[in-house]
Amino acid sequence: MQETWTRPYSPGPGRWLVIAWEAAALAFLAWATVRQFDLSGQGAKLVAGTLAAVWAIGTHRILRMGAYVGNTGVRIHGLLRSRTMPWRDVANVRLHKATQRLGPWEIETGMTVLIERHDGSCVNTELWAKGVDFHARPSLFRAVYQELRARHRASQNLETT
């Protein structure tokens, strides 16, 4: 039987802003490359086609990014890779106060959701309270976090019965 994976939230409108920004950046890169190397004809078409393909693949991955849940586990789609973990391998789903270091300063960047595995490793999710999906919808961030925790708890209860 094929597992059905659902994302327990709708993507935020900020994703389209990111996609448009990337399109503009790649168009500028194509223009600069054609000008720098004095390309014309087939060379210019090759550069434009290659960067358009990169943009299309990137757009697809950006739109799919996120945390997906199923009856048997959780799937995290990132920009470059995806990973699937059965609920039986998940020890805990918790919030983490993320910080970034900039020289001697530590800058708080908001809450993220981490998945702790039974082997002691932690898996970062694409769920960030100040990210493009949740920045203007903090209650949705909390609801998604609670949904992941509830799914994990339910799977633990099924295993013990």
Q: What is the pTM (predicted TM-score) of this model? A: 0.86
Q: How confident is the model over 139-152, as pLDDT tens digits? A: 999 999 999 999 99
In this prediction, residue 160 carries a pLDDT of: 67
Mean pLDDT of the chain: 93
The answer to whether the CB of 89 falls within 8 A of the CB of 118 is yes
Distance from first CA to last CA of the chain, Å, rounded? 22
DSSP 43-75: HHHHHHHHHHHHHHHHHHHHHH-EEEE-SSEEE
Q: How confident is the model over 76-115, as pLDDT tens digits? A: 999 999 999 999 999 999 999 999 899 999 999 999 999 9
In this prediction, residue 113 carries a pLDDT of: 97
CA pair distance 143, 129, nearest whole angstrom: 11
In this prediction, residue 29 carries a pLDDT of: 97
